[in-house]
Chains A and B, each alone.
Chain A
Amino acid sequence: MGSLRIIWAIGRKDLLLEIRNKDVVVAVAGFALLVLVIFTFAIDLNQGNAKLVGPGVLWAGIAFAGVTGLNRAFALEVEGDTLEALMLAPISRDLIYLGKALGNFLFIAVAQIIVIPVFAVLFNLVVFRWEMLAISLLTTIGFSAVGTLFAAMSVRVRAREVMLPLLFLPVVTPLLMAAVESTSHMVYGRSWSDMAQWLQLAVAFDVAFVVVSAFIFQHILED
C-alpha cells in the first residue's frame, strides 16, 4: 500500500507538471496527428484502403510520437537535477521507475484520447469499442514500460534524441505488431477470439517488460 502511494505520488507530480507545461502531451498528440493527416493525403482512403492501412498508420504514428514525449519527460528530471532528489529519498529505485512509467502512461493515454477520435474521422472507421480500449491500454502500458527504461538510459547521452528511437522502436516491434493486428481484426468486425493471440502477446510483453525494466532501472540510475 505504501509503495502504491509512492508510485502514485511520482506519477501525480509528473501529471501536475505536465498540466502546467503541456510539453509532452502536446508533442505526442501533435506529432501523431501530423502523421495521420499526412497519410490521409498520401493514400486514397476508400473504405478498403482505410481498413487495410489505417491500423498501421495509427500505431506507427503513436509509436513515433511517443518517443518524442518520452524523451522530454525524463529530460526535465535531469535538467533540474530532480532525478537525484528522487534518488535521495528512502525508497527503492524500482518505485521511481514505476512512478515515472505511470506518468508516461498517463501522457500517452491522454494523447491517444485526442488522436484516436481524429483517426476515426479521417479514416472513417468505427473505433469506439471495448476492443479498442483493451488494445490501447495494453499498448500504452508496454510503450511506457520500455520507453521509461530507455529514456533513463539515453537521457545522459549527448545524442539522446537519436539514441531513444534506436533503442525503443526495435524492442516495441512485437507490441506494435500486436496492436496493429488486433486493431485490424477490430476494424474488420471480427470477434475477440480472432484477436486473442495478439492480445495475449501484448499482455506477455507488458508483464515481461514491466518486471525486467523495474529490475534493470536501479542499475541504470547508479553511475
Chain B
Amino acid sequence: MVSQATQLAVKAEAVVKNFGETAVLRGLNLELPAGEVTVLLGTNGAGKSTFLRILAMLTQVDSGNISMLGADIAQHGPAVRSLTGSVLHSPMLYGDMSIRENLMFFAELYRLENVDDLIATVTAKVGIEPRLEHRVRTLSHGFQKRVALARALMHAPQLLLLDEPESGLDSRSVARLDRIIDEYRSQGRTVIMTTHIVEHALEISDRAVVLNNGTVGFTSTNPSQDKTEIIAAYSSPDESDEGGF
C-alpha cells in the first residue's frame, strides 16, 4: 500500500526504457529519500524527462521496478497518482476553457472538496488569480506553466515532479517557484525536478543526481558544496548526445 510516511519517495531498480532502437534508460538504479528536493541533471537525451514521465506514470518501463512512497506503481497506479503532482514540458491545459474552469475540472478528477477555496489558495500562490476567468489559449506560455503548477499543487501532493519548471517563467515567477519548493521541503514533502540551469538548481536542492547514458553518473547529497564535481559530471561526454553542438 501507499505510505505517506515512507522513508523513500522513489526507488528505481534496474529500469530500462528504449524508444525503438534508442536506449534511453539502461538499468537505472536510484533511491531518493522522502522530504528532500532532488534535482536531476544531465545533457539532452540523458533520460531525465523520460524518467520523470515514468514516475508520472505516462510512460511504461520496458523492464525493472519502480516504487513510489512505498508502493509499486505498476500495482497501485491511481493511489500513487493521488499523492503526486506533475508539471511536465507541456502545460496540458484546455485552451478554450478559462483557468478557473480548467482547475475546477481537474479538481473533480482528483475528487477534491472546497474547490473554490483551494483554487483561491493555489492561484494566489502562483500569482495567477487576476486572470482566473481568462481562457488559457489567450495566456503566454509562462502563464500557462503557472496554471499547470497551480493544478499540480491543488491536491497538496506528497511528491512534486517538475520537468524544467522554470522554462518560460520570468524572474519573479522563478522566485515564486523557489518559495513553493522551499515550502514543500519545510513540510516534509518531496520535490524531484529536472533543469538545465545548474547553478540555480544546486542552490535550492538537497540532492543532485547526474544522469549519464541512462544511468546514474554522479550523486551528491551536498550539491552546493560539490558544485565542481557535479558540473564536471554534467559536462562529461554522453553517448546519447552524439548530435549535440
Contacts and interface: CB of A to CB of B under 8 A. Distances in A.
A157 interface: no
Interface residues of B, number: 29
B172 interface: no
A17 B82 contact: no
A73 to B, nearest CB: 13
B188 interface: no
Main secondary structure on A side of the interface with B: helix
Contacts, number: 67
A193 interface: no
A117 B103 CA distance: 39
Given A2-B111, A6-B109, A91-B109, A17 B78 contact: no
Interface stretch (A82-90, A122-130, A135-143, A205-213): A82-90
Contacts of B97: 13, 16-17
Contacts of A90: 78-79, 81-82, 109-111
Give the interface size bracket for A toward B: 20 to 34
Interface in B75-97: 77-79, 81-82, 84, 86, 88, 90-97
Contacts of B60: 222-223
A16 B57 CA distance: 28
A92 B77 CA distance: 8
Nearest to A83: B92
Contact of A85 (B82, B92, B96, B111): B92
B96 A20 contact: yes
A46 interface: no
4 nearest A-B pairs in the assembled complex, by CB-CB distance: A90-B82, A85-B92, A89-B109, A81-B90
